[in-house]
Amino acid sequence: MRRLVLAALLWQASLVSAGQVFTAVATHQSGTYFVEVDALVGVPAERVRALLTDYDHLGRVNEAIEESRVLLTRAPGDYRVRTVTLACVFIFCKRIHQVQDVIEAADGSITATVVPSQSDFRHGYAHVDLWREGGGTRVLIRSEVEPDFWIPPIIGPWLIKRKLRLETLETVANLERIGRVDDHD
């Protein structure tokens, strides 16, 4: 048991090895899940933004994303994006389909709003703010989703909150890892 706990702690610490996570919180209220992550990654802001807006390759920053692609380009910085994500929590697995309208603002922020009629969510949004800080980029992610699928009662919300938090931490860690590797290519 001690080995398992130690391995879990080491794994979590390695998620953002060179960066720093200030906040990583997931909460649940009335069927809606809220996630907030505030982190510093050792990669320039332009590189972080480029990775987050490479909509045809989002699986690079989060391995759970099996498919991602632009469905519609309305104007530069205004897209409709589809993702398919395999989400597994213990024995409960589901392929989650999501279509979002994504706006890339001039200030560098990115906002994605779920299109419920084409998604497995009743509603949702994600907002990402990026800015240069120290030797890297501060990344602030706030998201909210209300699933339109069955989640096991009692333990389900706890597991989903945990999974959302870990997925977001993985994304932050991958931004740094991929950004550093690609900078050396």
Task: Please name the helix (run of DSSP H) or strand (run of DSSP E) that holds residue 146, with its range, or none.
Answer: strand 136-147
The answer to the question of residue 147 being in a domain is yes
Confidence of residue 182 (pLDDT cuts 50, 70, 90): low
Q: What angle, rounded to 10 degrees, do the helices at 45-52 and 155-183 form?
A: 120
Indicate the SS3 state at residue 154: coil
Position 69 pLDDT exceeds 50: yes
Q: How far apart are CA 29 and CA 136, in angstroms?
A: 34
* Percentage of the chain lying above the pLDDT 70 cut: 87
Bridge partners of 147, per DSSP, are 121
Confidence of residue 183 (pLDDT cuts 50, 70, 90): low
What's the Rg (C-alpha) of the chain? 16
Which of residues 153 and 129 earns the better pLDDT score? 129
Which structural domain range is residue 149 located in? 17-183
The answer to the question of residue 143 being in a domain is yes
Q: CB 79: neighbour CB atoms within 10 A?
A: 19
Q: How far apart are CA 142 and CA 129, in angstroms?
A: 9
- How many domains does the chain fold into? 1
Which CATH number characterizes residue 145's domain?
Answer: 3.30.530.20
Tell me the average pLDDT across 116-141. Answer: 95
The answer to the question of residue 7 being in a domain is no
The answer to the question of residue 133 being in a domain is yes
**DSSP code, position 15:** T
The answer to the question of residue 166 being in a domain is yes
Q: CB 21: neighbour CB atoms within 10 A?
A: 19
The answer to the question of residue 9 being in a domain is no
Whole-model pTM: value is 0.82
The answer to the question of residue 3 being in a domain is no
Task: Please name the helix (run of DSSP H) or strand (run of DSSP E) that holds residue 48, with its range, or none.
Answer: helix 45-52
